[in-house]
C-alpha cells in the first residue's frame, strides 16, 4: 500500500531524539539551543541522531564561541595557609585549573577583619566563590545566597542553611572512632581538648566522644574537658593542667594534630611516658602526625577541595543540586601514641 504523500510526515521532537540517543531531554535541548557547556562527543551523538531521523528533525544551533576567559572564582581562606588550609587551597586551585577557571585568593589572618561577602556579587569578572571555614555569621551567607551569587562552603564553622552547598568531613564519626579505640584499650579517664564550642566541628567531635562513652554506660567528666582555639600552645597548657590533677587522665584526645603535639610536649615536660603512661590522639593526619607517631583521624582534605570545585562548577553551569550538605568519610589511623591502659 502506498503512503499518502499528501499528508505531512510527523515532525520529530526533542523527545524522539532523546529516545534515539539514550540521553536526557534536558541534554538534547541544551545542544539544540547551542549551550556551550556540553561535551563534544555528546554533540556528535545528537548530530548523528538528527541525520538518522531525517529532514523533519530539529537542527542543532551552532554553539556560541566559548569565552576565552570565563569568570574567575574567589577563594576566601582567612587563615594562615599551613598544612591544613594549604592542602585544601592547593587542591581547589589545581581543580579550578583543570576546569579552565582562574582563582582570586583572599587568605591570611588579616582577611578575617575584611568585609568581603557583601561585595562579591557586584565584582566584575567574578563567577562564584568558595569560602573555607568562613568566620562570618550565618546571616551574611544567607544574604549572599539571596542575591543569587553561587558559592560553596568548605568546613563550615556553623551549620549552614539547607540550601547553601557545603562540604565537610564526618567529624562526629571520626571522633567516635577515636574514643572507641581508646575504650578498647581499657581507658576510662579520657581528657578532651576540644575546639571552640561555637564551631560546628568542635561540637560534633565532642558529641562523637560522648556518644562512644555512653555506649558503655559512661558519662563524660566535665573536669577532663578543655575548649579553646586549637593551637599547639593550647594543647601544651591544657594538658599540663590535666596531668597535674590528683587523678589525671590516662588518655588525652586533641582537637587536631597540633593540639596533640602540644600534649606530647607537656607529657615530656612532666616525665610522662607515651603511650606507657598516657595515650594521645589527634585529628587531621597532617605530616607532623606521621613524624611523631601520632594516632589520629585522617580527613580527606584534598578531596574536600575537589568536591567543592565540582559543586561550584555545577552551580555555574545551571545544574540543580540535591545533596547540598556533603560529609566525606574519615579514617582512623593507629600509630605508636596509643597503648593499653596500665593504671
Beta strands at 190-194 and 225-227: parallel, antiparallel or unpaired:
parallel
Would 254 be classed as within a structural domain?
Answer: yes
Mean pLDDT value of segment 332-342: 96
- Yes or no: say if 229 and 241 are a contact pair by the CB < 8 Å rule: no
Return the higher-pLDDT residue of 34 and 137. 137
Would 311 be classed as within a structural domain?
Answer: yes
Q: 143 and 285: one domain? A: no
Would 85 be classed as within a structural domain?
Answer: yes
Burial of residue 90 (number of CB atoms within 10 Å: 0-12, 13-18, 19+): middle
Q: 180 and 249: one domain? A: yes
Q: 43 and 100: one domain? A: no
Q: 213 and 280: one domain? A: yes
Q: 144 and 24: one domain? A: no
Q: 120 and 239: one domain? A: no
Q: 264 and 306: one domain? A: no
Confidence grade of residue 74 (pLDDT, cut at 50, 70, 90): very high
Q: At what angle do helices 257-269 and 232-243 cross, to 10 degrees?
A: 40
Q: 294 and 225: one domain? A: yes
Choose the final residue of a domain: 37, 66, 95. 66
Question: According to the model, what pLDDT value does residue 137 have?
Answer: 84
**Residue closest to 168 by CA, chosen among 129, 139, 132:** 132
Whole-angstrom Cα distance, residue 136 to residue 116? Answer: 9
Mean pLDDT value of segment 307-316: 93
Give the percent of the chain with pLDDT over 70.
90
Contacts of 250 (CB under 8 A, 6+ apart): 187, 188, 189, 190, 277, 278, 279, 341, 343
Return the higher-pLDDT residue of 35 and 5. 35
- Whether the per-residue pLDDT at 331 is higher than 70: the answer is yes
Q: 88 and 77: one domain? A: yes
Whole-angstrom Cα distance, residue 259 to residue 228? Answer: 10
Return the higher-pLDDT residue of 37 and 185. 185
Would 272 be classed as within a structural domain?
Answer: yes
Question: According to the model, what pLDDT value does residue 68 have?
Answer: 59
- Whether the per-residue pLDDT at 90 is higher than 70: the answer is yes
Question: According to the model, what pLDDT value does residue 13 have?
Answer: 80
Would 340 be classed as within a structural domain?
Answer: no
Mean pLDDT value of segment 94-98: 94
Would 338 be classed as within a structural domain?
Answer: no
The grid coordinates listed for 12 are: 520529530
pLDDT in tens, 221-232: 999 999 999 999
Would 324 be classed as within a structural domain?
Answer: yes
Mean pLDDT value of segment 249-278: 97
Q: 206 and 190: one domain? A: yes
Would 337 be classed as within a structural domain?
Answer: no
126 has which bridge partners?
72
CATH code of the domain containing 216: 3.40.50.2300
DSSP 137-169: -HHHHHHHHHTT--EEEES-SSPPPTTS-EEEE
Q: 35 and 52: one domain? A: yes
Q: 181 and 268: one domain? A: yes
- Could you tell me the residue range of the domain that residue 276 belongs to? 171-299
Confidence grade of residue 1 (pLDDT, cut at 50, 70, 90): very low
Contacts of 112 (CB under 8 A, 6+ apart): 78, 79, 135
CATH code of the domain containing 21: 1.10.260.40
pTM for the model:
0.76
Choose the final residue of a domain: 50, 66, 82. 66
Longest CA–CA span in the chain (Å) reads: 103
Number of domains in the chain: 3
Amino acid at each position: 500500500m502506498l503512503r499518502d504523500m499528501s499528508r505531512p510526515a510527523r515532525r520529530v521532537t526533542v523527545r524522539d531524539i532523546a529516545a534515539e540517543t539514550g540521553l536526557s531531554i534536558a541534554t538534547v535541548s541544551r545542544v539544540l539551543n547551542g549551550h556551550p557547556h556540553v561535551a563534544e562527543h555528546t554533540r556528535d551523538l545528537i548530530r548523528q541522531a538528527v541525520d538518522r531521523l531525517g529532514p523533519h528533525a530539529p537542527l542543532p544551533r551552532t554553539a556560541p564561541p566559548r569565552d576565552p576567559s570565563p569568570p574567575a572564582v574567589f577563594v576566601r581562606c582567612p587563615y594562615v595557609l599551613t598544612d591544613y588550609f594549604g592542602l585544601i587551597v592547593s587542591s581547589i586551585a589545581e581543580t579550578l585549573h583543570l576546569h579552565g577557571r582562574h582563582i582570586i585568593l583572599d587568605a591570611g589572618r588579616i582577611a578575617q577583619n575584611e568585609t568581603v561577602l557583601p561585595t562579591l556579587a557586584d565584582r566584575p569578572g567574578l563567577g562564584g566563590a568558595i569560602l573555607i571555614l568562613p568566620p562570618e555569621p550565618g546571616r551574611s551567607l544567607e544574604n549572599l545566597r539571596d542575591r543569587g551569587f553561587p558559592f560553596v562552603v568548605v568546613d563550615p564553622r556553623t551549620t549552614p542553611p539547607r540550601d547553601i552547598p557545603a562540604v565537610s568531613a564526618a567529624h562526629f564519626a571520626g571522633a567516635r572512632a577515636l574514643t572507641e579505640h581508646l575504650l578498647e584499650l581499657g581507658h576510662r579517664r579520657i581528657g578532651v581538648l576540644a575546639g571552640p564550642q561555637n564551631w560546628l566541628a568542635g561540637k560534633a567531635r565532642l558529641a562523637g566522644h560522648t556518644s562512644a562513652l555512653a555506649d558503655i554506660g559512661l558519662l563524660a567528666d566535665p573536669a577532663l574537658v578543655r575548649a579553646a582555639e586549637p593551637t599547639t600552645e593550647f594543647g601544651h597548657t591544657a594538658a599540663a593542667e590535666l596531668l597535674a590533677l590528683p587523678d589525671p587522665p590516662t588518655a588525652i584526645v586533641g582537637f587536631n594534630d597540633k593540639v596533640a603535639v602540644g600534649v606530647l610536649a607537656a607529657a615530656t615536660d612532666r616525665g610522662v611516658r607515651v603511650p606507657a603512661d598516657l595515650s594521645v590522639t589527634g585529628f587531621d593526619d597532617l605530616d607532623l602526625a606521621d613524624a611523631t607517631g601520632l594516632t589520629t583521624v585522617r580527613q580527606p582534605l584534598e578531596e574536600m577541595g575537589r568536591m567543592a570545585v565540582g559543586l561550584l562548577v555545577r552551580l555555574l553551569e545551571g545544574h540543580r543540586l540535591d545533596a547540598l550538605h556533603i560529609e566525606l568519610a574519615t579514617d582512623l589511623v593507629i600509630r605508636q601514641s596509643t597503648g593499653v591502659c596500665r593504671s
